Amino acid sequence: MQNLLSEGLTLMVFGMGFVFVFLTLLVFTTRGMSALVTKYAPDAAPAAAPKPAAKPAVAPAGNNDELIAVMTAAVHKFRS
Amino acid sequence: MQNLLSEGLTLMVFGMGFVFVFLTLLVFTTRGMSALVTKYAPDAAPAAAPKPAAKPAVAPAGNNDELIAVMTAAVHKFRS
Amino acid sequence: MQNLLSEGLTLMVFGMGFVFVFLTLLVFTTRGMSALVTKYAPDAAPAAAPKPAAKPAVAPAGNNDELIAVMTAAVHKFRS
Amino acid sequence: MDKLLELWQASGIYNMQFGQLTMIIVGLLLLFLAIRKNFEPLLLVPIGFGGIMANIPEAGLAFSAVENAVHFAQPEVMQAMAKALGLVSTDPHEVLHAYHGASAAAHDAAVNVAQDSGYNNGMLYNFYTVAIASGAAPLLIFMGVGAMTDFGPLLANPKTLFLGAAAQFGIFATVLGAVTLSMLGIMDFSIQDAAAIGIIGGADGPTAIYVASMLAPQLLGAIAVAAYSYMALVPMIQPPIMRALTTEAERKISMVQLRHISKNEKIMFPILLLILVALLLPDAAPLLGMFCFGNLMRECGVVDRLSDTAQNALINIVTIFLGLSVGSKLSADKFLDVQTLGILILGVVAFGIGTACGVMMAKFMNRMEGGNAINPLIGSAGVSAVPMAARVSNKLGLEANPQNFLLMHAMGPNVAGVIGSAVAAGVMIKFVG
Amino acid sequence: MDKLLELWQASGIYNMQFGQLTMIIVGLLLLFLAIRKNFEPLLLVPIGFGGIMANIPEAGLAFSAVENAVHFAQPEVMQAMAKALGLVSTDPHEVLHAYHGASAAAHDAAVNVAQDSGYNNGMLYNFYTVAIASGAAPLLIFMGVGAMTDFGPLLANPKTLFLGAAAQFGIFATVLGAVTLSMLGIMDFSIQDAAAIGIIGGADGPTAIYVASMLAPQLLGAIAVAAYSYMALVPMIQPPIMRALTTEAERKISMVQLRHISKNEKIMFPILLLILVALLLPDAAPLLGMFCFGNLMRECGVVDRLSDTAQNALINIVTIFLGLSVGSKLSADKFLDVQTLGILILGVVAFGIGTACGVMMAKFMNRMEGGNAINPLIGSAGVSAVPMAARVSNKLGLEANPQNFLLMHAMGPNVAGVIGSAVAAGVMIKFVG
Amino acid sequence: MDKLLELWQASGIYNMQFGQLTMIIVGLLLLFLAIRKNFEPLLLVPIGFGGIMANIPEAGLAFSAVENAVHFAQPEVMQAMAKALGLVSTDPHEVLHAYHGASAAAHDAAVNVAQDSGYNNGMLYNFYTVAIASGAAPLLIFMGVGAMTDFGPLLANPKTLFLGAAAQFGIFATVLGAVTLSMLGIMDFSIQDAAAIGIIGGADGPTAIYVASMLAPQLLGAIAVAAYSYMALVPMIQPPIMRALTTEAERKISMVQLRHISKNEKIMFPILLLILVALLLPDAAPLLGMFCFGNLMRECGVVDRLSDTAQNALINIVTIFLGLSVGSKLSADKFLDVQTLGILILGVVAFGIGTACGVMMAKFMNRMEGGNAINPLIGSAGVSAVPMAARVSNKLGLEANPQNFLLMHAMGPNVAGVIGSAVAAGVMIKFVG
Ligand code: NA
Ligand code: NA
Ligand code: NA
Sequence-ordered strand ranges (E) for E193-238: none
pLDDT band at E403 (very low <50, low <70, confident <90, very high): confident
Asked if F421 contacts F202 with a C-beta cutoff of 8 angstroms, the reply is: yes
Task: Give residue D239 CA to ligand 1 midpoint distance, Å.
Answer: 18
Question: Which ligand has the minimum distance to the alpha carbon of residue D168?
Answer: 1
Cα of F387 vs centre of ligand 1, distance in Å, is 48
pLDDT number for residue E423: 95
- Sort out which chain D residues have CB atoms less than 8 A from E312's CB and list them: 305, 309
Which residue among E168, E268, E427 sits closest to A14, beta carbon to beta carbon?
E427
Percent share of chain E, pLDDT over 70: 100
Summarised one tens digit per residue, pLDDT across range F243-272 is 999 999 999 998 988 889 999 999 999 999
pLDDT at F12 over 80: yes
Ligand 1 centroid distance, CA of D389 (Å): 11
**Range E166-193 average pLDDT:** 92
CB atoms within 10 A of CB E115: 18
The Å distance, Cα D258 to ligand 1 centre, comes to 23
Measured from the Cβ of residue E366, the count of other Cβ atoms closer than 10 Å reads 17
Q: Which of C2-6, D362-366, E103-107 has the lowest mean pLDDT?
A: C2-6
- Mean pLDDT score, F314-332: 95
Q: What is the mean pLDDT of residues D58-84?
A: 94
Can you give the pLDDT at residue E1? Answer: 63
Q: Which residue of F has its CA nearest to C9?
A: F176
For residues E144-157, give the mean pLDDT.
95
Residue D194 has pLDDT above 70, yes or no: yes
Give yes or no for residue F203 having a pLDDT over 80: yes
Contact check, Cβ <8 Å, E175/A12: yes
Res F163: pLDDT? 95
pLDDT in tens, F329-382: 998 888 888 889 899 899 899 889 999 999 999 999 999 888 788 999 999 999
Q: Do E136 and F126 touch, CB atoms closer than 8 A?
A: yes
What percent of chain F has a predicted confidence (pLDDT) above 70? Answer: 100
Average pLDDT over residues C15-34: 94
Would you call D296 an interface residue with chain E, using a CB distance cutoff of 8 Å? yes
Q: What pLDDT is recorded for position D258?
A: 86
Task: Express as a percent the part of chain A with pLDDT over 70.
Answer: 51
Q: How far apart are CA D380 and CA D201, in angstroms?
A: 12
CA E209 to ligand 2 centroid distance, Å: 13
Whether C6 has its CB under 8 Å from any CB of chain F: the answer is: no
Rg value, chain A, Cα: 25
The pLDDT assigned to A66 comes to: 42
Supply the pLDDT for residue F109: 94
Which-ligand-closest: CA of D416? Answer: 1
Share of chain A above pLDDT 90, in %: 36
Give the nearest partner residue to E263 out of A30, A47, A60, using CB atoms.
Answer: A47
The 10s digit of each residue's pLDDT in E310-333 is 999 999 999 999 999 999 999 888
A21 Cα to the center of ligand 2, angstroms: 16
pLDDT bin (cut points 50, 70, 90) of residue C1 is low
Mean of all residue pLDDT scores within chain F: 93
pLDDT at B51 over 70: no
Other Cβ atoms closer than 10 A to D161: 27
Q: Number of H helices and number of E strands within chain F?
A: 25, 0
Comparing CB atoms, the residue among B58, B59, B71 nearest residue A71 is B71
pLDDT tens for residues E290-316?
999 999 999 999 999 999 999 999 999
Q: How confident is the model at residue D6 (pLDDT cuts 50, 70, 90)?
A: confident
Q: Is the pLDDT of residue F62 over 90?
A: yes
pLDDT of residue F373: 86
Q: Each residue of E19-45: pLDDT tens digit?
A: 999 999 999 999 999 999 999 999 999
Q: What average pLDDT does range D74-97 have in this prediction?
A: 93
D264 touches chain E (CB under 8 A): no
- Measured CB to CB, residues of chain D less than 8 Å from chain C are 3-4, 7, 35-38, 41, 148, 311-312
Is pLDDT at A45 greater than 90 in this prediction? Answer: no
Instruction: State the nearest Cα–Cα gap between B59 and chain E, in angstroms.
Output: 11
D-chain residues within 8 Å CB-CB of E61? 285-286, 289
Rounded to the nearest 10°, the torsion over CA B50, B51, B56, B62 is 150
F42 vs chain A: nearest CA distance in angstroms?
Answer: 10
Decide if pLDDT at D207 tops 80.
yes
Q: B6 CA to chain D: closest CA distance, Å?
A: 9
Ligand 2 centroid vs E381 CA: distance in angstroms?
A: 9
Is the CB of residue E286 less than 8 Å from the CB of residue F123? yes
Among A31-45, C38-52, D399-413, name the one with the lowest average pLDDT: C38-52
- pLDDT tens for residues D270-311? 999 999 999 999 999 999 999 999 999 999 999 999 999 999
State in Å: Cα D270 to ligand 1 middle: 17
CA proximity to E49, closest of B47, D273, D206: D273
pLDDT at D296: 98
Of D59, D111, D126, the CB nearest to F134: D126
Which pLDDT belongs to residue C62? 37
Partners of A79 on chain B (C-beta within 8 Å) are 74
Helices (H), E167-204: 169-183, 191-198
What local confidence, expressed as pLDDT, does residue D202 receive?
87
B30/D424 CB distance under 8 A: no
Is pLDDT above 60 for F241? yes
pLDDT attached to residue B46: 41
Nearest CA-CA distance, residue D209 and chain F, Å = 20
pLDDT of E269 over the 50 cut: yes
Contacts of C29 in chain F (CB under 8 A): 272, 276
- Whole-number pLDDT of residue E44: 95
pLDDT at residue F221 tops 70: yes
Instruction: Give the integer Cα–Cα distance in Å for E51 and E34.
Output: 14
F297/F300 Cα distance (integer angstroms): 6
Taking the Cβ of residue A67 and every Cβ of chain E, the question of whether any pair is shorter than 8 Å is answered with: no
Helices D220-245 and D338-369, packing angle to 10 deg: 40
Q: How far is CA E264 from CA A23, E147, E261, in A?
A: 21, 16, 8
Q: Distance between CA F28 and CA F35 in Å, rounded?
A: 10
Say how many C-beta atoms besides its own lie within 10 A of residue F365's C-beta.
Answer: 19
Cα gap F151→E72, rounded to integer Å: 58
Instruction: Please judge whether C60 and F304 are an interchain contact, meaning their C-beta atoms are less than 8 angstroms apart.
Output: yes
User: Which residues of A sit within 8 Å Cβ distance of C?
Assistant: 58-59, 64, 67-68, 70-71, 74-75, 78
F432 Cα–ligand 3 center, Å: 20
CA distance E165 to A20: 6
- Contact E3/B18, CB-based, under 8 Å? no
Q: Report which of D335, D15, D25 is spatially closest to residue F271, judged by C-alpha positions.
A: D25
Q: E37 by DSSP, 3-state: which?
A: coil
Contacts of A39 (CB under 8 A, 6+ apart): none
Whether the pLDDT of residue F304 is over 80: the answer is yes
The E residues from 112 to 151 touching D (CB cutoff 8 Å) are 112-113, 115-116, 123, 126
